[in-house]
Amino acid sequence: MIDGILTINDDFSKVRYKHDASSKRSNPLTSLTTNITALRSQFYASKLGLTPTEWANITKQATIHEETVNRQSTLNINNSQLA
């Protein structure tokens, strides 16, 4: 049984997903959007001549170092330091 049909043109400018409205399965639109966005980005990266390593560096998830502070403490800084 086919739940839907996904069509993508050659340059990813048109993407269409047709599916049966009576299907009891969950709608995969969020997952499809995420995956097609990644494929589209890779497609354009290769057209620009980026290597797989360059592409991996560009799309690598940022690392955020979290630091918690005590709200009760008083900061001793002037307005220019705050800005």
Q: What is the pLDDT of residues 30-67, one digit of tens each?
A: 899 999 998 998 899 999 999 989 988 988 988 888 88
The CA-based diameter of the chain, rounded to the nearest angstrom, is: 67
User: In the numeric block, which tokens belong to residue 9?
Assistant: 């043109």
Q: What is the pLDDT of residues 7-24, one digit of tens each?
A: 999 988 899 999 887 777
Contacts of 29 (CB under 8 A, 6+ apart): 17
Q: Which of 47, 24, 18 is nearest to 39 (CA)?
A: 47
The amino acid sitting at 41 is: S
User: In the numeric block, which tokens belong to residue 18?
Assistant: 């047709």
